[in-house]
Structure 1
Amino acid sequence: MDTSGFMGGLYRLFDWISKMALLNLLWIFFSVLGLGLFGFFPATAAMFAVMRKWIYGEDDIPVIRTFWTSYKREFIKSNLLGGIILAAGIVLCADFLFIQNVADESLSLLYAPLLILVFLFVSMAFYVIPMFVHYDMKIGQVIKNSFFVMILNPVSTFSMVVGTFGICFALSYAPPIAILFSGNLIALIVMKFSSKSFDKVHAKSQMFLQEQ
């Protein structure tokens, strides 16, 4: 039995687990540091920025420094983006609840279309932060392109939605584990499928340009 290979694999496993746990602790700490409301979106963007580097093979990056650099650089812009998404989500939820509880039958006809709109919005929102950290775009472009990528990649979108709700469901049975593994696992799934979608769209665009 090759014990050196086994020990090497075990070391890499524990190294990955410790990095993931550190990333989640940073995400929680810097979310709180920004008073929650103002810290959540920069901390989430920073977490996704670190995860993106890992997915593309940059395993040896300094986690704390990379996180902090992204947190500072994107603090204002990520809060603006997050504020827009949050406001749109609140409006949609308010409209949905209003129509759901209204007695007017003419307005109740809007229930199904609004439900579809809410589903599309939630699906698009999964791509917003990955798009934000993957490309250097203006906020409007991030939102617009997130929608198009979502439409063009239904399998990845479905996988992200199911994976995220699956993690949340599993963690609901073990809340203490969420301190070390919650946002990081969601970021891993979302960034992994988003990266595949971005690469696929990029390959298609390159192929289209070559054909012109």
Structure 2
Amino acid sequence: MPESGVFGFIYRVTDVIYKLAWSNILWFFTSGFPLVLFIFGDWIIPLALFLLIGPPGTVALFHVMSVWQKDGDLSVWNTYWSGWKKNWKRAYKVVDVYVIIGVILVVDLVVVANAPQSVLKWIGFLLFPTATLYILTSVTLLPLLVRYPWKLFELVKNAFVLSVSHLFSSTAVLLSLGVVIVTAVSFMPPLAFFFSASVTAWAFTWQTGRILDKIDRLQKERSESLESNAM
């Protein structure tokens, strides 16, 4: 493998593109294809299908990104199926519950937005920040799932705390992803097909890793400070 120079640069770029595209294709054909049915205007059938087959592959995709960012090199195929087998039971518990909560929030927002009574519309002022916090929590939820063997409540609580305590950077990641994906869908649909899920998983994993690394540094500095004060 070329390490430096022009050929090294080209190799690293093509390697990143290959891994993102290959992991995205694996996710789509094992988990994400029901979402295509949203194009036809229906949401119940694709949602039900995704809840049935989507969670293990989605978590496997995040497992690939976690291993990739930690070790730097990997076999996408082997790592994907390793993550699938390792986490499929927890994936159903976490992803299905989280998606169902999201659907309930969306339905509530639609009902409140179309309600004729002004009293009900005021409820939207409570639902909107709740939905915002729900979306922010998604940034760290699955990256934490593939890292730690936490139960559902502990996982969601820690994901919420990490995302909200780093509100600006988590929001920036979400907005940047939104702009990239909308642009790709509008002008380059094939790119959206090959990269949307994997780029999202990569960005969420990267953001979570940054937060955890920062926490580790602060803990080490605090520990060293306490040790020096004790001497």
What is the TM-score of this pair, normalised by structure 2?
Answer: 0.81
Please show how residues 54-73 of structure 1 align to structure 2 within 5 Å.
54-56=68-70, 58-73=71-86
Cα 1:148–1:209 shift into 2, 3 Å: farther
Let me know the Cα RMSD of the aligned residues: 2.2
Aligned residues: 208
Give structure 2 stretches of 5+ with no counterpart.
Answer: 35-48
**2:144 aligned residue:** 131
Residue identity opposite 1:12 in structure 2: R
Residue identity opposite 1:149 in structure 2: L
Check the 8 A contact 1:127/1:146 in 2, yes or no.
yes
Name the stretch that deviates more: 192-201 or 143-152.
192-201
Name the stretch that deviates more: 154-163 or 36-45.
36-45
What do residues 108-140 of structure 1 show as CA deviations (whole Å, max 9, x unaligned)?
222212111111111112211111112221111
Poorly superposed stretches of 4+, deviation over 4 Å: 32-35, 205-212
Give structure 1 stretches of 5+ with no counterpart.
Answer: none
Greater relative contact order (CA < 8 Å, ≥ 6 in sequence): 1
Name the stretch that deviates more: 166-175 or 136-145.
166-175
Check the 8 A contact 1:31/1:38 in 2, yes or no.
no
Residue identity opposite 1:29 in structure 2: F
3-state secondary structure, aligned to 1:37: helix
Return the offset for 1:51: 0.9
Return the offset for 1:104: 1.9
Cα 1:69–1:7 shift into 2, 3 Å: same
What do residues 164-189 of structure 1 show as CA deviations (whole Å, max 9, x unaligned)?
21122122122122232111111121
Check the 8 A contact 2:181/2:192 in 1, yes or no.
no
**2:60 aligned residue:** 46
Residue identity opposite 1:116 in structure 2: P
Report percent identity of matched pairs. Answer: 25
What do residues 39-83 of structure 1 show as CA deviations (whole Å, max 9, x unaligned)?
322112111111112222x12222111110111221121011011
3-state secondary structure, aligned to 1:168: helix
Please show how residues 33-112 of structure 1 align to structure 2 within 5 Å.
36-56=50-70, 58-112=71-125
